[in-house]
Amino acid sequence: MTMAEGMVRADALAVRDGRLALAVRLPWYRSLPLSCLESVEVALDGHPVPVRSVAVPGFAGSIEQAASCDTTWDLRDPLDVTLDGAARPGDVVALDVHLAVRIPYIQQAPGVPLVQRTAVRTEATIR
């Protein structure tokens, strides 16, 4: 399994408290500070779905707020992404997830960290 294949598992999409929740795994080989999260973009059936919030143990808030937190995104914990979208359990959707994570200890050029961009497209049944 590649890192991209493990990013979104078959049971990743669910309805929780009337909203869509998506579990996204870190597509990297080690844990990173959550502040390295640059973006999460999600589309269902080809339509962009706004990201309301993200959460890992020790943090819950917007992607913008994550940029200044000191919490670690542990490899064992999925990023819980809450979406502004309507769907029902049992619906089957085409799911596109684009994730950008800055790798602070690898530089592309002096002072320019690597940004790992990963895209996954799969079919998901909403739990």
| Residue-level pLDDT at 99 | 98
Cα Rg for the chain, rounded, in angstroms?
A: 14
- pTM of the predicted structure, to 2 decimals: 0.93
CB 40 within 8 A of CB 62: no
| pLDDT tens-digit readout, 90-103 | 999 999 999 999 99
Whether 1 shows a pLDDT value over 70: the answer reads no
Give the per-residue pLDDT at 87: 83
Q: Give φ, ψ of 66 to 5 degrees.
A: -60, -30
17 residue type, one letter:
D
| pLDDT value, residue 3 | 78
Encode pLDDT of 23-82 as tens digits: 999 999 999 999 999 999 999 999 999 999 999 999 999 999 999 999 999 999 999 999
- Is pLDDT above 70 for 2? no
How does residue 86 score in pLDDT terms, banded at 50, 70 and 90? confident
